[in-house]
Structure 1
Amino acid sequence: MELNMRLLLATSLLTLTFMSTGFAFAAGQKTSVIDPLLQAISERLSIADQVALSKWDSGKAVEDPPREQQVISAAQARAAEFKLNPDDVQRLFRAQIEANKQVQNALLAQWHAAGKAPDTVRLSLTDDIRPKLDRLQTQLLQAYADFQPLRASEDCKIQLDTALKRYQSDPIHDQALVLATADLCAAKR
């Protein structure tokens, strides 16, 4: 009887160990699908600095509705390629554009207050920056597709909030990152 009890206890402990390892692995998997998505979003937001410099130098407005629609339409056209809902892709890219404009506006306001923009190398909006954003589109779509299983899970928001802490850089970009990721987790209906 004592041997059976020990065997039962050992089996139970072993089962619990494997279960907790499995849960830890699953949690690790969930986190890993967030990071490529947040990396792509963060990279896109960092490009906003160069866009703002271009707008400072050219005097052009931050708002560019035809370009914004072009970006959104191009992303939506590729939704099926990544097994994504075109409406979800539209919302994702609209959020990225709004967050990007938020960074641009904040930087331009800082530079206007200072009376000058940073003395850094300028990139061409049409020749350098936009092609980079267009290439980043594929990375963002793939990361968003990989993120879909977590998006629908109950702990999506908790996982996302935890991961966002790893991508904090400065108040302007942090605030934009929150805006860019606000609707990533599916709302509970």
Structure 2
Amino acid sequence: MQAAPGRTVTTGALTQLVNLSAERILLADKVAAAKFGTSTPIEDPAREQQVLNQAATLAAEAGIDPEETVEFFRAQIEMSKFVQRGLYELWTARPELAPAERPDLATEVRPQLDRITVAFVGQLAASEDLRGPSPRCAVSLIVAGMAADCCYHLDRLRQRALWGAVEPVCAA
């Protein structure tokens, strides 16, 4: 596999991509805490479209495929909602576990998500020649995912979300 001119292919780029996905998955807790018990739904199509549009723009600027990037980000969003739904179920069944504080989405959570979005595009560009349907990609992704599971101490809900979020990395 040959790297594009000016790019170095390393499996470390996938590790960074998976780590960013884990960070984003963990931020779903704050998003859920901000919304739980309010009239704000988990689904936010307008915000989701903003994120997808931003990702496509950043991808085009970075010289990577905007459609692939949008699919990657769509998976991130869906897995974030997966975690939020899981937390809602838990907190509804066990109200004593519900968060006592409600983070502010606009000032506390979204700036962190936006930072991750920009970093994602950089890592997608750095891993462009590694990503795709190949044994090398699959093995690298598994190794990176297992390391993230350990480093971030993900429970089952968040592990499932992480694997769903990074699945597009080695897809066709």
TM-score range, shorter chain: 0.7 to 0.9
Offset, 1:89:
1.1
Q: The residue matched to 2:43 in structure 1 has which SS?
A: coil
Checking the alignment, whether the CA contact within 8 Å between 1:52 and 1:104 is kept in structure 2 is: yes
Equivalent positions of 1:14-53 (< 5 A) are 30-53=10-33
Offset, 1:32:
1.1
Offset, 1:119:
4.0
**Aligned partner (choices 56, 72, 78) of residue 52 of structure 2:** 72
1:173 is aligned to 158
The question of 1:182 aligning with 2:162 is answered: no
1:148 is aligned to 128
> Please, which moves more after superposition, 147-156 or 50-59?
147-156
Equivalent positions of 1:18-167 (< 5 A) are 30-152=10-132, 153-167=134-148
Structure ID, larger Rg: 1
> Counterpart amino acid of 1:123?
P
Runs of 4+ aligned structure 1 residues displaced above 6 Å come to none
1:10 is aligned to none
Q: The residue matched to 1:79 in structure 2 has which SS?
A: helix
Q: The residue matched to 1:149 in structure 2 has which SS?
A: coil
Render the CA deviation track for 1:35-92: whole Å, top value 9, x for unaligned: 1111111111110000000111423210011110111011111112211111011101
More helix by share: 1
Checking the alignment, whether the CA contact within 8 Å between 1:56 and 1:117 is kept in structure 2 is: no
Q: C-alpha distance in 2, partners of 1:88/1:100?
A: 19
Q: C-alpha distance in 2, partners of 1:83/1:41?
A: 21
Runs of 5+ consecutive residues of structure 1 not aligned to the other structure: 1-28
> Please, which moves more after superposition, 46-55 or 123-132?
123-132
Checking the alignment, whether the CA contact within 8 Å between 2:34 and 2:103 is kept in structure 1 is: yes
Aligned residues: 159
Q: C-alpha distance in 2, partners of 1:176/1:65?
A: 19
> Counterpart amino acid of 1:111?
W
Checking the alignment, whether the CA contact within 8 Å between 1:49 and 1:103 is kept in structure 2 is: yes
Offset, 1:126:
1.4
* Identity score, percent: 35
Highest RCO, 1 vs 2 (Cα 8 Å, sep ≥ 6):
2
Runs of 5+ consecutive residues of structure 2 not aligned to the other structure: 1-8
> Counterpart amino acid of 1:148?
E
